[in-house]
Every structure is written in structure tokens, then in C-alpha cells.
Chains A and B, each alone.
Chain A
């Protein structure tokens, strides 16, 4: 009995310690809002849409939405974050819509395409090839994305999200990127 009582006390102490540890840490870091990488990237993608002009013929009607294709087969996090970000927002009177890309056919009608680094089923090169010559703003997040012909690529610098732009590719795609956006890019290819 004595043994059991002592054990209960030991458990009690350990649990309290754990509780204290976890909440000590929690309080210390709970002051400012925290964002995940994909929440930030979703906000960036929404902002890109504001600073890019598409040829008028890419929209079937004056109030047709700007469609953002998400190529993230396994990872729902980006799509969820984007959904939250663009919810009820309009750019130049246009709504924003999300399209979940599962095959290359789904890319049709997209204005922006974001390709997750975790994507395995649709290789970056194939997606970029499929939208070549069309006015699609391609956004990626891998080291080789620009070499493969992507337009905007995210990279991490410490704990900050930065991006690079290949303006030459953008021009070839018939996209007009505002100088403000170009000025904020870490690296720019193909001049302004």
C-alpha cells in the first residue's frame, strides 16, 4: 500500500512538472500571432494576383473569377490556407476561385498555378510544359523551379519567406508584372 501511495505521488509530481513545462513554454510564446509557412505563402499568392495583369481574353467574361490551381496531391495545408485567405475577397471586381489539380487536364482555365514541393504525382516539369505558351502565372517552392521555366519561386531566408521572379518567362507568357512586385523580389531574371 505504501508503495502504491508513493507511486501516486511520483506520478503527480511528474505530471505537474510536465504541465508546468508545457505551459511555461506556451505562455512565453503565445503573445504574437503565429503563421505557418503555407499560411504566409497563401497570402503571398493572393497578393501576386493583385500585381499581375492577365490578357483580357484569358477571362471568359468581365466578372469571371481569377482561378488559382493548386498542385498538392497529398498536402491539404496550402489549399486550406488559401481558401481562408481568399474567402470573400475580390480583385478588380473579380472573385477568386481554387481549383484542385489532379491531372494535367485540370490546368485548363487556371490563371495561377501553385506547385507544392511535396507533389509526386505531377512532376513540376510536366505541369510547366502543359501551361507553356499560356498566360499562367506559375508559382513554385523548389530550388530547381526557375531552371525548369517557372515564373515565381518561393525560398526561405532564415524564418522569412522570400521570392524570386523570372520576368522574361512572365513576358513570354503574356503576363504583365507590376514594377512594385518586381522590386520586392530577391532575384529577377530577364530584366524589368
Chain B
């Protein structure tokens, strides 16, 4: 009883302090209407939830202490309450972390990694066409969204060529994914440059956990056909392996008028993983894994063609080739329960061969990470890395890079100290990453995070971090030309060519981020996670009028009309702020509800002297509001029903309307789980809807169609 009173007093004190701070701060910023509201409402929620739940939690604890006094008969008749899983570790991190599990992915019916990411609260996932996605967090979404770092088993999927992720080649057998961890907000102090607005980490299973045979296959209207096979076995004592192969064939998306957009694609992929797991005997784990993939995707490109007068433009329908592979080795050594060393090397190759652009890229990476306890209170994590990226480009009139092949290096080192200030209650994490890249030289990315757990069910955290988005190869070396048809500039204007040149003086984009988070488990079956953030960006990319200061101005071959040169620069700055609210409510043992709400406000501004007329409008490329509600229901006899309803706000810059969509999955599995059958309906509410529009690469606007597919999975 005593304990309960003191914790609620402590809590009220803190809430008071916070709102005090809020009042004073906002008094000076009367124009930040929405921000004010976000904070005020977050506080209101925090306070209203904290008070009753502290009392409740204390009561439960008191009851638990007396549980031992119950008789055995009473104990045998006491029901176990349902607990929201996976929260324990998450609630102890001073960052906006979400994890989607293997089960979440399976039950969502997602057939690809980008689609699975729709499950993550706070992420903005938009399908551009059949094989392109725009995925970002906290704004700046684009097909080449450049502020989100993505890794799979420690291998970077972020391409330094364009800054962004080619989502069409990021795949694996969905059943082999163990979980996907997503950090919203800067993760640069550990992960390095380009982890500006978030980090996505896709983790696949240990070979030990994928033993036996798995066969899966199915098909439907949009997912025309797919199949997967995995075999896992043992090569010797402690040596486990798996091999897998998969194939899929996806239908075209649709033009706004409903006709086929001719962007169907098909891919095949295979791979293996070997784990020599002797952690128990010799504290060593050796992992070797690799993938190889290839496929064809259709696309309609609008190209600039100097040899095609009088329009000088050509619309090309192409069935282009994609391919690549990777090989990764990792050695893990546990010195003790609290100290672990990881040494990892990988090689990655990607090939893309389109009519406007060809690329081959080889990446070699070496990475070391080590953590250990220092004294009673410090957990130190440090690491170092070296990466070489070599590319070879096939230039076209539309897109060319000069020079057409380049090798860049990246050196990095980081150190982080997690300091326990008060046992189980207060933790401070200080860290910084130092990097040297060939574009901008040294970069320094520090962060400080404070985690306060005033009570077992309550966690508050705050952070300040600096992160940079380093220039891509294209931003230094590109020449990107588009044809503007007659009359496209002003009435009666002739055919014109606009060309954007790269700029070797291009700087890193810089972010200073402030975050405040609150997690509460007011009840054993309910957890709520709220994050608010304020991001201050400087030196954002702008497209300025006039020739590049570093690239030679070579007027393109005809047309004889207008030639308008542009170049990239850093003359944009801005603020974004918002809130992400996610909850997990285990309503009954068989029914779980997962609501999520994301609010984002972006304000971009031009620096004095900037001639950019388009980049400020990037504000309107990310939805201001997103809401989703996921329901997972287990029925008797192995049946289950899952449904996800999602609302995404309009994108005014791209003229995309807001939409509401619904995915439903009906599943059944046999008692021993050896057979599983599912019917999945995707985007059920409309025949078709638009989610995004292409930007730099001139492809056509398409829409996502309703789809239904069936799937059978067998395990032996």
C-alpha cells in the first residue's frame, strides 16, 4: 500500500514538471499550433493513463507477493492472465523501436518484405507500381527515399549510387524471416550515415530453427503464382544448414483508366545458410550464408531521345533484367554472459539493366562489433567497419554518370556506453559514430539517450541525436535529362530539354533530432507506446537553376529549342514534427487488436538565394496522418481470421487522394501444424487506388488493384 502511494506521487510530480516545461516552451512559439496540440494531447494521455495504472500495477504486485500463501488447490484453479508478448526487451530501449515477428508476417498475408513493412507503426509504405515501392519514416518519402537505412542480417541494402533502396531485389523466403526490427528516428550513432529517419533490420532464422522440409505455393489474381521450397538438415554435430529456392510472378498494376500498366514482373531466388553453433561448448558460432537472384520486370519509360525528332522523346516499354547475389560470413564469440564479439564480412553484387540506365555494383564490407560490461554500471559497445563500393554504369541520354565507373571507400568506428545511473530505474546511453567517406570526408554523429523507468509498467525516454545523410554517387556525378513537350513551359513554348547536373560540392544533409517517448503497460494485456519527435534539418537537397559549379555544361544534342540546366545543391532547410502512437491489446486469449496512429507535419524552407521551385513541395509527398487497426482472431479447430484496416492521408504534391484499404486473411492449420491453408484478400475496398507517383525516374503513374490469392504450406 505504501509503495503504491509513493509511486503515484512520484508520477504526478513528473507529469507536472513536464507540462510546466511544455507551457513555458510553447509560450514562446505560439504559431506552432499543431505541435502544441500533439504535446498537449500526449501529455493528457500520459497523465490520465499513468495515475490509475500505477495504482493497479501496485495492487497486482501486492497480490503476487501473497500468491505463495495460497493453497495448492487454489493455485491449480487460478487462471493465468494473458500477457502481451515481446514487450519486455522493447520497453527497455530509449528509442522508438517496433518489432514485427514471423507470426505477424505470416498472418498479415504479406508476400514481400515491403508489404510486410506496412505492419510497422509509423512507417509510410506506398506502392508505386508492380515492382517499385516508396518507403520512409517521418517524412521525405520517395522511390529513392534516402533517409532510411535498411539491413538484412547485417548486410546493407541501401544503395550508395542513388541513396535509397531498390525494394524489387530485397527478398528471401518469407518463412525464413525471424523478425524485422524497426527503429524510427536516428540510429546513426551505431548504424552510421543515412540512418537519419530510421533503421530497418531484417533478421533471418538460424539454420537450427529451419530443420526439415517446407513446401509452399499458391496463386491468385495479382499474385499470379508463387512457390517456395526449403530443406534444412544437419551436416555434423552442431552444424546445421538450410537451402531454399523461391519464385513468384506478379500481375501488372493498372493505369488510372483501368487498363494494364504493363509492369508485371517475375523473380527467382535461391540461397543457403550454414550455422556451426558451438556456443554452448566453445562459445563460438560461425555463420555462412548467401543468396542469388534474377528476374525480369516490365516497365514503361519516358525517355529523352536526341535521335527522334521532332518530339525528341520516346516512350519505351521494356522487359528489363535484374539480378544479383551475396555471400556473408560471420563469427560470433561469447567471452562471457556479458561480453560478445562479432566479426562479419560480406560481398554483394547487384545488376540492373534498363533502357535508361545500366548498373553493376560490387560491395565488399568488413564489420566488427564488441560489447562488454565495464564495472557494475557500464555496458560498452564499440565497433569498426570498412567498405568498398565499386560500380560500373551504362549511360544513356536520359541518365548518365560521369565518370562511368567509380570506387568509393568508407571507414567507420563507433563507441557507445550504456550507463546505469540508478539500478533498474535510470539509464543514460551516450554514443557516437565517426566516419570517413570519399564524398564529404569526416562525419561525426553523436547521440544521447535517457531512459527512466519510474515503475515497472512505465517507461519514459528522451533523446537528442545528430545524423547525416551523405551524398550519393548520383548527386555528385549525374546528368539527368527530361523532355518538356511544346507548350509545357508556357503557352507556345518550343520543345525543351531540362537537365539536372550533379555537384561535387554537394554536402551532407544534417539532422538534429529531439525525441520523447512514453511506454506504459497499464494492464497485463495492454501495452501502449507513444513517441513524439521534433526534427531540425539543414542542408537538405535542392534543385537550383543554372549550370553545376563542378560539372562541365555540355548542351545536349538537338532539339534546337530550349535547354534548361539545373544542378543539385543544399539550399533547403526545414522542420518536421509529429507523433506515433501504437498499442497492443490482447482482448481475450484468442483475440488481439493492434491500433496505430501516425501524425506528421513537415515544413520546408528555401535558403535566401535559392532558385529551387519544386523541392519545398516535398512536404506533400508524405501523408500527414495514417491510422491502422489490425485484428487477429484465433477460432477453434485451427481456423484464424486476420484483418487490417488502414487509412492513409492525401499526398497533395502528387495529387494522390487519401484512401482506406482492407486486407483480410482466412487461415487454417492442421493440429500438428504440418499443413496450412490460407485465402488472402488484399486492398479489398476499391477496384484500384493510387498510393504514390514516380519522381526522378520518369515512369508512368499506376494504381494498386484489388487482389485475392490462395496459399498452401506443408512442413515435414
Contact = CB atoms under 8 A, between A and B. Distances in A.
B81 A36 contact: yes
B419 to A, nearest CB: 20
Nearest to A5: B33
B72 A47 contact: yes
Contacts of B279: 120-121
A25 B595 CA distance: 14
B73 A11 contact: no
Contacts of B599: 11
A8 interface: yes
A19 B48 contact: yes
A15 interface: yes
Contact of A43 (B68, B73, B525, B595): B68
B64 A4 contact: no
Given A156-B80, A181-B72, A184-B73, A30 B56 contact: yes
A89 interface: yes
A52 interface: no
A84 B61 contact: yes
Most B C-beta atoms less than 10 A away, residue of A10, A26, A123, A181:
A26
Contacts of B585: 21-22, 25
B608 interface: no
B260 interface: no
B76 A184 contact: yes
B37 interface: yes
A68 interface: no
A10 B60 CA distance: 36
Contacts of A64: none
A160 B76 contact: yes
Interface secondary structure of A, over-half rule: helix
Contact of A4 (B33, B337, B528): B33
B84 to A, nearest CB: 11
Contacts of B82: 159
Interface string A61-103: 0000000000001000100010011110100000000000010
B402 interface: no
Contacts of A47: 68, 71-72, 75
A102 B337 contact: yes
B671 interface: no
A67 B177 CA distance: 41
B88 interface: yes
B63 to A, nearest CB: 4
A164 to B, nearest CB: 12
Given A18-B581, A19-B48, A156-B80, A33 B63 contact: yes
B587 interface: yes
Contact of A44 (B75, B522, B523, B526): B75
A10 B68 contact: no
A44 B78 CA distance: 11
A130 interface: no
B597 A161 contact: no
A89 B34 contact: no
A26 B522 contact: yes
Contacts of A147: none
A53 interface: no
Most A C-beta atoms less than 10 A away, residue of B61, B76, B525:
B76
A35 B64 contact: yes
A42 B80 contact: no
B526 A7 contact: no
A14 B587 CA distance: 20
A84 B78 contact: no
A15 B67 contact: no
Contacts of A11: 37-38, 41, 599, 625
B27 interface: no
B243 to A, nearest CB: 24
Nearest to B74: A43
B76 A162 contact: yes
Nearest to B77: A160
A162 B221 CA distance: 48
Contact of B81 (A35, A73, A86, A122): A35
6 closest A-B pairs by CB: A34-B81, A33-B63, A43-B67, A85-B68, A159-B79, A46-B68
Interface of A: 4, 7-8, 10-12, 14-15, 18-19, 21-22, 25-26, 29-30, 33-37, 39-40, 42-44, 46-47, 51, 73, 77, 81, 84-87, 89, 102, 120-123, 156, 158-162, 180-181, 184
Interface of B: 33-34, 37-38, 41, 45, 48-49, 52-53, 56, 59-61, 63-65, 67-68, 70-73, 75-83, 88, 279-280, 337, 522-526, 528, 581, 583, 585, 587, 589, 595, 597, 599, 624-625, 627
Given A39-B67, A77-B88, A159-B82, 5 more contacts: A21-B585, A34-B523, A85-B65, A102-B337, A160-B78
27 contacts: A4-B33, A7-B34, A11-B41, A11-B625, A15-B581, A18-B581, A22-B526, A26-B523, A30-B56, A33-B59, A33-B63, A35-B63, A35-B64, A35-B80, A36-B83, A42-B67, A43-B70, A46-B68, A73-B337, A81-B64, A84-B64, A85-B68, A158-B79, A159-B589, A160-B80, A161-B76, A180-B72
